[in-house]
């Protein structure tokens, strides 16, 4: 009944091998299936030959490579921003967006479902954020109105796609409120980059608000097929972060193989829209069929499809039932979700075959009926 830290012997995109058995993998963040793309793998191998496995220093001192700056320039252009900055992990980038841009004298506003990295970023600066109801711009406005007349600036932090509920962020409504109250907007697009937007640019472009979202945070560990994180915004803001972010200055720079892999993935995303189109077709198929079976998907409208199962015990039993059917799924239980609202978090990508999807649906139906999650 313990679903965590399952060690994979092999990973083939849509399937993995654990303890000699093959499982259909659901819930991976490899949305476009590019971690297994041979061009991405070759780019990483070539970078190992040129630079080895570590930069052996921070970006601030001896760790900056031309590869870093090439990826930063191409990423900024892709996102429609003046400048970008690479971090060693996505967690570090979003935490830095709070710790360096929040400012001790400013008032911060967090969506109630914001990622833990933002919360920890606020702790670094001892600035407790104000929390507004999830995707509720009216509640955000209520807080801003209460704070009128107080000193300091206003910074709103939200997400393009929320990692547990799968909801796309209410970016237009948040931006509208921000404009009226003179607030800045920072959006974590970890699960939106490569997924939303005409070419995968993210939620700010998806909603045609590229100039209204001040800073975009993201990661390379989802659609961009590697590891690491980034911030993108105006040149002066990114320059400020570059010289003040402790999580950048005191961390070893992202190694060359990871940078090269992400650069290759970015170029594929920009030139080959079929990866995103195939992903959406499979996600839509699974959403339609899971809803048809009677599951509650919490209104998800992104590639993250959460299946509501109820209490923590039921979630663990549901996971075990899927595991016995050779489907590797991931339960989310408190404190990651509210009590009584445990889910099986799924996502599907271009590496999944029709057979993988049908097998997963059969497993969900069998286990769901056995546990009376569906009738």
The count of residues in the chain is 375
DSSP 226: S
Residues 6 or more apart from 95 whose CB is under 8 A from it? 117, 118, 120, 121, 124, 247
Active site residues: 163, 191, 222
- Which spans in the chain are helix H? 38-51, 66-79, 90-101, 116-124, 137-146, 171-181, 203-206, 235-244, 246-249, 256-271, 274-293, 312-324, 354-370
Other beta carbons within 10 angstroms of residue 294's beta carbon come to 12
Output the six-digit token pair for 270: 């920009």
> Beta partners for 347?
304
Return d(Cα 245, Cα 92) in angstroms, integer.
Answer: 9
């Amino acid at each position: 009944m313990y679903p965590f830290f399952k060690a994979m012997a092999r990973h083939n995109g849509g399937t993995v091998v654990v303890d000699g058995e093959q499982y259909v993998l659901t819930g991976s963040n490899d949305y476009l299936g590019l971690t297994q793309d041979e061009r991405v793998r070759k780019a990483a191998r070539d970078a190992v030959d040129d630079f080895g496995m570590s930069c052996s220093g921070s970006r601030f001192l001896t760790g900056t490579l031309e590869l870093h700056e090439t990826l930063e320039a191409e990423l900024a252009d892709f996102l429609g921003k003046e400048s970008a900055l690479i971090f060693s992990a996505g967690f570090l980038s979003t935490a830095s967006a709070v710790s360096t841009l929040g400012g001790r004298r400013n008032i911060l506003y967090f969506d109630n479902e914001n990622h833990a990295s933002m919360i920890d970023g606020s702790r670094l600066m001892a600035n407790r954020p104000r929390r507004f109801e999830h995707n509720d711009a009216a509640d955000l406005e209520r807080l801003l109105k209460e704070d009128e007349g107080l000193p300091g600036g206003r910074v709103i932090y939200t997400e393009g796609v929320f990692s547990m509920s799968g909801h796309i962020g209410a970016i237009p409504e948040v931006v509208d409120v921000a404009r009226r109250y003179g607030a800045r907007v920072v959006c974590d697009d970890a699960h939106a980059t490569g997924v939303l937007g005409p070419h995968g640019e993210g939620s700010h472009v998806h909603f045609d608000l590229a100039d209204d979202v001040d800073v975009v945070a993201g990661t390379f560990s989802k659609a961009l097929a590697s590891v690491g994180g980034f911030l993108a915004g105006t040149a002066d803001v990114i320059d400020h972060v570059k010289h003040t972010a402790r999580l950048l200055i005191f961390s070893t720079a992202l190694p060359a193989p990871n940078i090269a892999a992400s650069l290759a993935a970015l170029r594929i995303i920009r030139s080959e829209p079929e990866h995103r189109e195939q992903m959406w077709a499979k996600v839509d198929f699974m959403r339609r069929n899971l809803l048809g079976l009677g599951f509650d998907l919490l209104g998800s409208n992104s590639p993250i499809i959460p299946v509501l199962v109820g209490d923590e015990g039921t979630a663990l039993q549901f996971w075990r039932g899927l595991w016995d059917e050779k489907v590797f799924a991931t339960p989310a239980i408190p404190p990651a979700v509210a009590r009584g609202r445990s889910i099986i978090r799924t996502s599907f990508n271009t590496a999944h075959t029709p057979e993988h999807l049908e097998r997963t649906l059969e497993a969900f139906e069998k286990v769901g009926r056995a546990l009376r999650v569906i009738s």
